[in-house]
Amino acid sequence: MAALPPELMQEIISAYVEGRSTLAASIATVSRDFNDWVKPVLSKTLMYYHEEPAKHWPVPVHELPQWLRNNGKYVRNVMWGIDVKDLLDVFNQCPGITDLAVWVNVSWNDLTTLLPSLSNIQLSNLSINLYNLCGRRNFSKQEAERAVFRTITHLELFHNIKSWDDFEGIAYLPRLTHLCLPEGMSTPSSHDDISRVLQHCKQLKVLVIIAGGLFPSSGQNRVIQSDTLFNSDEDDPRVVALARDCLDDWVYGATGRKDMWALADEIVERRLIDRRYKENTNDV
């Protein structure tokens, strides 16, 4: 039997180790060829969630600078929930980051230090506290015009959002198609703000509202009927209400599994198909 071409072998092994990072890392320590094949896969994700060492991947944080020098070019997904002092090194060493979650408070001084390096990265997904983006001011058109936001398609904002006026600048993000807002936006008093989001964000395809609790007992994302959340003469099919475990959900997305964005896409697509079917039926 002829040997498989190296490129095909690498593709097969890489597909296998997706979601099996711990097992693959163990094998890689005893096989140089296997390590070379899976290194880009094992190095795709950085996860430093709170201060618990068990929530640090791929290496303890004190080993991260050396690891970044050797592997930073492979990194695509970063979830950061610890001190921001090492984040500048991450941005400088990982030019290929596309998915960034910053789940720690960032001071205005830290932000002004980080933004120039972050502006050189073409992010598509960003999850962050709204006020970390703009130094506790409203997220305005001026803030939205920063280079770092030019490529954002999927944006999750959490904490402290009170009204559309707090974040109206998102209407000027040129590529924004998916937006997730926190549970506080699911109250009846927020219906007008949701309407303004849908009205002003011209390219928006999906609006996810986190509602009904953050931690479903099943451990899986759970859909909540949007008509209990968004009350209008005609429900907008783009509005999806979800409950989820935020950490697990981020890991799902980073490892190629179905996260809240993929689930919401499916729901919206199904609604649009149903709507077109009903319209065509009514025309007959």
pLDDT for position 140: 83
Mean pLDDT within 177-200: 81
In one-letter notation, the amino acid at residue 8 is L
Q: What is the 3-state secondary structure (H, E, C) of 95-163?
A: CCCCEEEECCCCCHHHHHHHHHHHCCCCCCEEEEEHHHCCCCCCCCHHHHCCHHHCCCCEEEEECCCCC
Q: Considering only residues 229 and 181, tell me which one the structure prediction assigns the higher pLDDT.
A: 181
Q: Which of 41-45, 109-113, 131-135, 221-225 has the lowest mean pLDDT?
A: 221-225
In DSSP terms, 181 is beta-bridged to 209
Nearest Cα neighbor of 242 from 254, 256, 228 is 228
Under the banding of pLDDT at 50, 70 and 90, the label for residue 233 is very low
> Tell me: the pLDDT tens digits for 124-144?
999 988 777 666 567 888 888
User: 70-78 long-range CB contacts below 8 Å, 24 or more apart?
Assistant: 71/39, 71/43, 74/39, 74/40, 74/43, 74/44, 75/43, 75/44, 75/45, 75/46, 76/44, 76/45, 77/44, 77/45, 77/46, 77/253, 77/254, 78/45, 78/46, 78/47
Give dist(CA 284, CA 278) in Å, integer.
Answer: 10
Nearest Cα neighbor of 267 from 224, 210, 219 is 224
> Tell me: the pLDDT tens digits for 213-232?
444 445 555 665 554 455 44
Could you say which DSSP state residue 198 is in?
H
In one-letter notation, the amino acid at residue 110 is D
Quick one: what percent of the chain has pLDDT higher than 90? Answer: 31
In one-letter notation, the amino acid at residue 265 is D
In this predicted structure, the answer to whether residue 278 has a pLDDT above a threshold of 50 is: yes
**Helix 6-17 crosses helix 21-28 at what angle (to 10 degrees)?**
130
In DSSP terms, 155 is beta-bridged to 126, 179
Give dist(CA 268, CA 248) in Å, integer.
Answer: 22
Q: Which of 14-18, 105-109, 212-216, 249-253 has the lowest mean pLDDT?
A: 212-216
In one-letter notation, the amino acid at residue 124 is S
